[in-house]
């Protein structure tokens, strides 16, 4: 049985919803909701990610098949396997995403999803070009090794990505309470894209927000804290290639300049780590900001 990639079928829906959101922003006089060069970079990253994904698909598939060969069970294509696979794949996504924010090698691949100062449906399409090099596939191997069909895993991963499209919007405030409790929503994911200190490294969820609640990385969107989107050090460029590769270039520069015993740390430590303390990690920013808050009365 061959795999099914749902992504191409979702593209017309993506385009239609972006069009609707642009008209909404225009009607509501939200002049900063979209910016033509930002939109061009976001959509360009989306197009490029389709090509990059196609190039890496063969190798990713082969690795999943290898892992599947070691499986103790053959789960096969039973109907219940689809639901279980989707949920476990979402758990795998949570950890992949969490590592993508906490290990600089993986952050270099993920940063382009966060480098826009806008938060709209086009932001959702800022997908990576270098996910394979960042080793994202590693997090899916346990599913194949557990006996899930590799093609089923990839289909579930595609469906997960499609789910995450609609949550990249400011047009929706909050969903009903029970929905917000279980599912990832625009409100939860706005927090993830914020660069406010209290929101850094929070809400890694793909489809189910429950993983963040379980593993202690959940933060609710606070009415009193207006969100600013983007990176702690904003990229400040609308160059597509810079958006795709700037952190890889920065890693290469740091590794070249660092003393020998620190070189590897610039690959695996968290973004913002430096051997001489000249930069700030998200933990340092959180601590600094907590310290500067006025004492509560």
The binding site for other proteins (CB under 8 A) comprises: 1-5, 8-9, 11-12, 15, 18-19, 22-23, 25-26, 31-40, 43-44, 46-47, 50-51, 57, 61-62, 64-65, 68-69, 74, 117-118, 122, 149-151, 154, 195, 228, 230, 232, 234, 236-238, 280, 288
Answer for the pair 243, 237: CB distance below 8 angstroms, yes or no. yes
Smaller CB separation from other proteins, 117 or 267 = 117
Over its C-alpha atoms, the chain yields an Rg (Å, rounded) of 20
Instruction: Give min distance, CB of 48 to other proteins, in A.
Output: 10
Which residue, 9 or 268, has its beta carbon nearer to other proteins?
9
Q: How far is the CB of 51 from other proteins (least distance, A)?
A: 7
Shortest distance (Å) from residue 251 CB to other proteins: 19
Nearer to other proteins (CB atom), residue 16 or residue 172: 16
Between the CA of residue 151 and those of 76, 88, 198, 208, what are the distances in Å?
Answer: 10, 15, 39, 22
Closer residue to other proteins, CB minimum distance, 98 or 168: 168
CB of 212 to other proteins, least distance (A): 24
Query: For the chain, where are the alpha helices, taking DSSP H only?
Result: 7-27, 36-69, 79-102, 104-110, 141-145, 150-163, 177-182, 186-193, 210-215, 240-257, 265-268, 282-292
Please state the closest distance from residue 213 (CB atom) to other proteins, in A. Answer: 28
Q: What tokens does 257 get?
A: 């300049």
What is d(CA 245, CA 247) in angstroms, rounded to the nearest whole number? 6
């Amino acid at each position: 049985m061959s795999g099914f990639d749902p992504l191409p079928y979702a593209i017309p829906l993506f385009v239609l919803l972006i069009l609707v959101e642009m008209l909404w922003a225009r009607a509501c006089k939200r002049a900063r909701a979209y910016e033509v060069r930002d939109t061009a970079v976001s959509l360009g990253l989306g197009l490029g990610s389709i090509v990059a994904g196609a190039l890496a698909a063969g190798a990713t598939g082969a690795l999943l098949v290898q892992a599947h060969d070691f499986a103790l069970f053959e789960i096969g294509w039973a109907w219940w396997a689809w639901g279980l696979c989707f949920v476990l794949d979402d758990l795998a996504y949570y950890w992949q995403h969490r590592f993508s924010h906490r290990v600089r090698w993986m952050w270099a691949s993920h940063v382009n999803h966060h480098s826009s100062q806008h938060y709209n449906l086009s932001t959702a399409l800022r997908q990576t070009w270098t996910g394979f090099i960042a080793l994202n596939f590693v997090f899916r191997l346990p599913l194949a090794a557990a006996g899930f069909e590799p093609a089923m895993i990839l289909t579930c991963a595609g469906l997960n990505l499609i789910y995450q499209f609609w949550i990249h919007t400011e047009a929706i405030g909050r969903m009903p309470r029970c929905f917000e409790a279980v599912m990832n929503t625009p409100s939860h994911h706005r927090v993830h894209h914020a660069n406010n200190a209290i929101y850094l490294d929070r809400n890694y969820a793909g489809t189910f927000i429950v993983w963040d609640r379980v593993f202690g990385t959940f933060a609710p969107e606070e009415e009193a804290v207006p969100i600013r989107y983007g990176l702690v050090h904003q990229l400040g460029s609308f160059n597509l290639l810079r958006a795709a590769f700037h952190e890889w270039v920065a890693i290469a520069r740091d590794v070249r300049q660092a003393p020998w015993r620190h070189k590897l740390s610039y690959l695996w430590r968290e973004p913002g780590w430096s051997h001489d303390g000249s930069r700030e990690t998200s933990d340092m920013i959180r601590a600094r900001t907590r310290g500067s808050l006025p004492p509560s009365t």
